[in-house]
């Protein structure tokens, strides 16, 4: 690369990724093939429209790439329809709202401090200005059980047009059948925002909400799916010409969603990213991806157990998926920002996190969130989780002792160099 400044920063970031352990549960390492696709000449091409129906010429290759991505996504998640153009998780969710809900109507999502995502109606976001959001949450934060009775009562009262099952910091499995029963009773569309666990669903390591009767599933493509930064929307119903308006009927959801993505809220699709999504979906169909997903879950359970043994109080007291949330305020009397910074010093990267009904503010919350997708891609197994929990415990205990932190940092770095990045292979 001729831009030396950027080249140096890329090299520095690669070194940071190689010499540390990535524990942020929404991050991962892509393969060399995914990197090659996203860095390809498809970035040069405009292709508004859909395969076979474009506004610009020269689409002989883009049409094939997008169709491959669509076909692979449909097989992977067992859906009638896939839109692979959505640029990212937030616009993917917004497209579904836009497709089905009128301004002022109601959408139901998980309480944000209980694990729901910003796009599920955080005040100050665009969807929250347009739609009315109501909430459900955990009945018992010690087990993570959702209060389905409260969900039904609120849904009956507020008649949401969409009920969202999904989260960015909830470590347990949702009971999709209960969501479907409630949605059907009040006439709401069931939408699963599976951004965090789509890779685990694709590998059949966790249940697929579409199998349980959900009509729509949105996901980002870069978390457990291990692809480029981007999004995917799968839905069930009749796929028809997205250039023709259709009635707002459940069976038309696929077409309503395609029209909501383009021209509803986006212009030209990012074809280089779509090429990388196609590669990702192909990789996720392989038997080794199933092995990977199962190992993510095994590592996660082991890490949760080892942390609890060392005095970390985990929200819901464990995990069923790839992530866990630790209440470091209750465990060690420090806030999540301090914990994040101390662990960063020794090369363990994770993020501060609000916990259910957190009395502390989001920038200095009571918790931290961590998970195993990236370290499992790197090749770590259960025995390594014991070592990570021990490093975390030691670093927090000796957070004011730079000598000990330096020693731990060296140990982490030496350990990491035994596990090459997937893009090195």
Annotated catalytic residues are: 46, 48, 193, 220, 223, 229
Shortest Å, Cβ 318 to ligand DSN: 19
- The 44-83 site mask, x for binding ligand DSN (CB under 6 A), equals ----------------------------------------
In sequence order, the 6+-apart residues with CB closer than 8 A to the CB of 387 are: 415
168 near ligand DSN (CB under 6 A): yes
Nearer to ligand DSN, 183 or 209 (CB): 209
26 near ligand DSN (CB under 6 A): yes
Shortest Å, Cβ 248 to ligand DSN: 28
Instruction: State the helix-helix crossing angle for 402-416 and 4-19, rounded to 10 degrees.
Output: 100
Using only C-alpha atoms, what is the Rg of the chain?
A: 22
367 near ligand DSN (CB under 6 A): no
Nearer to ligand DSN, 158 or 351 (CB): 351
Shortest Å, Cβ 419 to ligand DSN: 23
Nearer to ligand DSN, 188 or 370 (CB): 370
Nearer to ligand DSN, 91 or 137 (CB): 91
Shortest Å, Cβ 351 to ligand DSN: 7
376 near ligand DSN (CB under 6 A): no
Q: What end-to-end distance do the CA atoms of the chain give, in Å?
A: 21
Shortest Å, Cβ 220 to ligand DSN: 7
- The 279-298 site mask, x for binding ligand DSN (CB under 6 A), equals --------------------
Shortest Å, Cβ 131 to ligand DSN: 19
Question: Within 13 A of 422's CA, how many CA atoms are on the CB side?
Answer: 21
Are the C-beta atoms of 334 and 399 separated by less than 8 Å?
A: yes
* Closest C-alpha among 385, 367, 382 to residue 312: 367
Which residue has its beta carbon closest to ligand DSN? 26
Nearer to ligand DSN, 120 or 399 (CB): 120
- The torsion of the CA quartet 170, 228, 24, 135, rounded to 10 degrees, works out to -20
Q: How far apart are the C-alpha atoms of 363 and 334, rounded to whole Å?
A: 13
Shortest Å, Cβ 134 to ligand DSN: 21
Nearer to ligand DSN, 193 or 335 (CB): 193
- Token digits of residue 160: 């949401």
* Closest C-alpha among 103, 122, 203, 204 to residue 164: 122
Q: How far apart are the C-alpha atoms of 339 and 352, rounded to whole Å?
A: 8
- 326: three-class secondary structure by DSSP: strand
Nearer to ligand DSN, 37 or 197 (CB): 197
- 296: three-class secondary structure by DSSP: helix
- 5: three-class secondary structure by DSSP: helix
Binding residues for ligand DSN, rule CB under 6 A, total 4
Q: How far apart are the C-alpha atoms of 364 and 318, rounded to whole Å?
A: 23
Report the DSSP pairing between strands 323-327 and 348-349.
unpaired
Shortest Å, Cβ 126 to ligand DSN: 15
89 near ligand DSN (CB under 6 A): yes
230 near ligand DSN (CB under 6 A): no
Are the C-beta atoms of 105 and 320 separated by less than 8 Å?
A: no
Judge if the upstream peptide bond of residue 217 is cis by omega within 30 degrees of 0. Answer: no
218 near ligand DSN (CB under 6 A): no
Are the C-beta atoms of 211 and 217 separated by less than 8 Å?
A: no
Nearer to ligand DSN, 151 or 370 (CB): 370
Are the C-beta atoms of 299 and 381 separated by less than 8 Å?
A: yes
Task: Count Cβ atoms below 10 Å from residue 410 Cβ, excluding itself.
Answer: 12
Residues that bind ligand DSN (CB under 6 A): 26, 89, 117, 168
């Amino acid at each position: 690369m001729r831009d030396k400044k950027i080249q140096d920063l890329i090299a520095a970031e690669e070194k940071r990724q190689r010499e540390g352990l990535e524990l942020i549960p929404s991050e991962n390492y892509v393969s060399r093939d995914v990197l090659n696709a996203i860095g390809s000449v498809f970035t040069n091409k405009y292709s508004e429209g859909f395969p076979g129906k474009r506004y610009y010429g020269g689409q002989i290759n883009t049409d094939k790439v997008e169709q491959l991505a669509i076909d692979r996504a449909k097989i992977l998640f067992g859906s009638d329809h896939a839109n692979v153009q959505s640029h990212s998780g937030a616009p993917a969710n917004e497209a579904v709202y836009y497709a089905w809900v009128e301004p002022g109507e109601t959408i139901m999502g998980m309480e944000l401090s209980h694990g729901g995502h910003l796009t599920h109606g955080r005040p100050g976001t665009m969807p929250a200005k347009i739609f009315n959001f109501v909430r459900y949450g955990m009945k018992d934060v010690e087990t993570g059980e959702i209060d389905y009775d409260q969900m039904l009562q609120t849904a009956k009262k507020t008649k949401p047009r969409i009920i969202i099952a999904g989260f960015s910091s909830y470590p347990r499995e949702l009971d999709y059948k209960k969501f479907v029963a409630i949605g059907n009773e009040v006439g709401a569309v069931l939408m699963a925002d599976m951004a965090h666990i789509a890779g685990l669903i694709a590998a059949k390591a966790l249940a697929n909400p579409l199998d349980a009767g959900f009509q729509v599933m949105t996901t980002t493509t870069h978390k457990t799916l291990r692809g480029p930064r981007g999004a995917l929307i799968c839905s069930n119903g009749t796929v028809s010409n997205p250039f023709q308006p259709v009635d707002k009927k459940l069976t038309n959801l696929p077409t309503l969603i395609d029209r909501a993505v383009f021209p509803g809220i986006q212009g030209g699709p990012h074809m280089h990213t779509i090429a990388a999504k196609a590669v990702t979906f192909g990789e996720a169909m392989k038997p080794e991806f199933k092995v990977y997903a199962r190992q993510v879950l095994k590592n996660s359970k082991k890490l949760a157990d080892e942390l609890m043994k060392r005095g970390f109080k985990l929200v819901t007291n464990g995990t069923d998926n790839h992530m866990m949330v630790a209440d470091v305020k209750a465990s060690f009397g420090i806030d999540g920002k301090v914990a994040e910074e101390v662990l960063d010093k020794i090369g363990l990267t994770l993020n501060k996190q609000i916990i259910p009904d957190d009395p502390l503010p989001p920038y200095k919350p009571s918790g931290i969130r961590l998970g195993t997708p990236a370290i499992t891609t790197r090749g770590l197994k259960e025995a390594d989780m014991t070592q990570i929990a021990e490093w975390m415990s030691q670093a927090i205990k000796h957070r004011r002792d730079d000598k000990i932190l330096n020693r731990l940092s060296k140990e982490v770095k030496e350990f990491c160099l035994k596990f090459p990045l997937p893009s090195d292979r």
